[in-house]
């Protein structure tokens, strides 16, 4: 892997079983976004309250990031690709 681009503005957010030091040239950023879910249900629990998932976040997101462009792809109709 090459150097992390200087223009990179991302971050490696620590959480349960995930240290920011786990980021490297292969995984240059990791965050988790659950504040909205927690605002709706304070009793909800997460397997990992962190960028991890129970299957291994790092490999999961890497497989998404290095995927190929697909014409017309969308996520339930949101953000349709041109």
For all residues of the chain together, what is the average pLDDT?
76
Query: pLDDT per residue over 63-72, tens digit each?
Result: 555 555 566 6
Phi, psi dihedral angles at 12 (to 5 degrees): -110, 105
Does residue 38 sit in helix, strand or coil? helix
**Per the structure block, which two tokens stand in for 15?**
């959480």
pLDDT tens-digit map of 14-59: 998 889 998 888 888 888 888 888 888 888 888 788 887 776 555 5
- Per residue in 5-26, pLDDT (tens digit) is 888 888 899 998 889 998 888 8
């Amino acid at each position: 892997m090459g150097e992390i681009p200087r223009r990179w503005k991302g971050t490696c957010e620590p959480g349960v079983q995930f240290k920011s030091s786990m980021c490297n040239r292969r995984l240059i950023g990791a965050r988790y976004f659950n504040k909205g879910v927690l605002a709706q249900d304070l009793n909800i629990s997460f397997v990992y309250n962190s960028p991890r998932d129970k299957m291994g976040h790092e490999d999961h997101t890497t497989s998404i990031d290095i995927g190929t462009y697909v014409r017309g792809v969308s996520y339930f109709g949101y953000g349709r690709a041109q």
